[in-house]
């Protein structure tokens, strides 16, 4: 039995007319009838009931058509996967990330990736978590570096590390630490933070921390990326509460990072992607990026 036998059978089963099926296959009718006869003899069953007026599938033929349709569907799926694998080697890998995660190691990994996939183009997109989830679901991104929770049944999520929060204030000679009047200082300070609609889960974390310290934050300035927030803090316009992993990234700014352990609230940084995406460059990226430890971010 060869693939052409199955194709001929599938076409006749769909058309239920040998002449029309032959025309669709670009062959004459006698060879087509002969191929179907050979298939029936090999299977030892009758697949079609033939008469001068009509062609119909037998019960065995109906079952066989279902199986053959599934085989051809699987073949088409495999062809599409092969094309995607080829495109992955010489196409584009689209990586989403959030501004509030330290990305120094990302550049190193992209350099190594270029050695492994020299014809691959990598594109980076700074996108907030909620927007990343939508882009990942619809194929606009191949992989995302974002913060949990990722509420999507379409995506696979791998944990990278848990990121504790720190208070960020303008650089000052005033001695403030987690045990000495920090809560009183923050109560009296204007806050700079992400817009609630832009980063709702992140905003909830801030509210939880402040409420556990006994006050509601006075958010007077909002921004949509962490660099802008820190610049506003540096300019003396307020204070913020941000992930500890940013301390190393923005060490050059004139701000102070005050760590506090009394309130064990943190945020989880994760990778998210579609498991059905068989791009070898994606597989390589996930493996190498997921090997990072929290110490690489601090």
Q: Are residues 19 and 105 in the same domain?
A: no
- Given this model, what pLDDT does residue 141 score? 95
pLDDT digits (tens, 9 = 90+) for 251-281: 889 999 988 877 778 889 999 999 988 888 8
pLDDT digits (tens, 9 = 90+) for 196-250: 888 888 888 888 899 988 899 999 999 888 889 999 999 999 999 998 888 888 8
Number of domains in the chain: 3
The span from the CA of 292 to the CA of 288, in Å, is 7
Q: Does 132 have pLDDT greater than 80?
A: yes
- Given this model, what pLDDT does residue 142 score? 95
Q: Does 134 have pLDDT greater than 70?
A: yes
Q: Are residues 134 and 219 in the same domain?
A: no
Q: Which residues contact 226 (CB under 8 A, 6 or more apart)?
A: 99, 100, 242, 246
Q: Does 179 have pLDDT greater than 70?
A: no
Of 46, 64, 88, the last residue of a domain is 88
- Given this model, what pLDDT does residue 154 score? 93
- Given this model, what pLDDT does residue 87 score? 63
- Given this model, what pLDDT does residue 294 score? 45
Q: Does 91 have pLDDT greater than 80?
A: no
Residue 70 DSSP code: H
- Given this model, what pLDDT does residue 298 score? 46
236's tokens = 């003396």
Q: For position 11, which CATH number holds? A: 1.10.10.10
Q: Are residues 173 and 141 in the same domain?
A: no
Q: Are residues 260 and 174 in the same domain?
A: yes
Q: Are residues 35 and 61 in the same domain?
A: yes
The span from the CA of 233 to the CA of 139, in Å, is 37
Q: Are residues 168 and 259 in the same domain?
A: yes
- Given this model, what pLDDT does residue 246 score? 86
Of 41, 59, 88, the last residue of a domain is 88
The span from the CA of 132 to the CA of 126, in Å, is 9
Q: Are residues 99 and 64 in the same domain?
A: no
Confidence of residue 295 (pLDDT cuts 50, 70, 90): very low
Of 88, 117, 149, the last residue of a domain is 88
Which residue range is the domain that position 194 belongs to?
162-266
Decide if 105 contacts 296 (C-beta within 8 A). Answer: yes
Q: For position 282, which CATH number holds? A: 3.40.190.10
pLDDT digits (tens, 9 = 90+) for 141-160: 999 999 998 999 999 999 98
Q: Does 89 have pLDDT greater than 70?
A: no
Residue 251: name the closest of 46, 43, 104 by CA.
104
- Given this model, what pLDDT does residue 231 score? 94
Q: Are residues 190 and 258 in the same domain?
A: yes
Q: Are residues 209 and 253 in the same domain?
A: yes
Q: Does 173 have pLDDT greater than 50?
A: yes
What are residue 214's phi and psi, to 5 degrees? 100, 20
Average pLDDT, the chain: 87
- Given this model, what pLDDT does residue 180 score? 64
Q: Are residues 10 and 81 in the same domain?
A: yes
Q: Are residues 147 and 240 in the same domain?
A: no
pLDDT digits (tens, 9 = 90+) for 26-81: 999 999 999 999 999 999 999 999 887 789 999 999 999 999 999 999 998 888 77
Q: For position 181, which CATH number holds? A: 3.40.190.290
Q: Are residues 259 and 216 in the same domain?
A: yes
């Amino acid at each position: 039995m060869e693939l052409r036998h199955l194709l001929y059978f599938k076409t006749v089963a769909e058309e239920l007319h040998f002449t029309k099926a032959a025309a669709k296959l670009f062959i004459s009718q006698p060879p087509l009838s002969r191929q179907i006869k050979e298939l029936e003899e090999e299977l030892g069953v009758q697949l079609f009931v033939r008469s001068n007026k009509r062609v119909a599938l037998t019960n065995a033929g109906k079952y066989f058509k279902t199986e053959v349709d599934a085989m051809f569907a699987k073949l088409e799926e495999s062809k599409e996967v092969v094309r995607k694998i080829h495109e992955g080697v010489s196409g584009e890998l689209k990586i989403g990330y959030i501004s509030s995660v330290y990305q120094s190691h990302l550049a190193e990994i992209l350099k190594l990736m270029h050695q492994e996939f020299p014809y691959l183009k990598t594109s980076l997109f700074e996108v907030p978590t909620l927007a990343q989830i939508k882009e990942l679901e619809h194929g606009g991104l191949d992989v995302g570096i974002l913060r949990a929770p990722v509420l999507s049944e379409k995506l696979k999520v791998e944990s990278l590390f848990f990121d504790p929060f720190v208070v960020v204030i303008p650089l000052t000679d005033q001695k403030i630490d987690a045990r000495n009047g920090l809560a009183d200082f923050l109560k009296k300070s204007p806050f700079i933070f992400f817009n609630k609609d832009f980063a709702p889960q992140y905003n909830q974390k801030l509210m939880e921390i402040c409420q556990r310290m006994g006050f509601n934050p006075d958010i007077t300035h909002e921004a949509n990326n962490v660099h802008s927030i820190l610049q506003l803090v540096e300019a003396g316009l307020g204070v913020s509460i941000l992930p500890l992993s940013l301390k190393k990234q923005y060490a050059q700014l004139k701000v102070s990072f005050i760590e506090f352990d009394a309130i064990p609230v943190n945020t989880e940084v994760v990778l998210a992607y579609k498991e059905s995406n068989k791009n070898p460059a994606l597989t390589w990226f996930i493996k190498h990026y997921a090997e990072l430890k929290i110490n690489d971010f601090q």
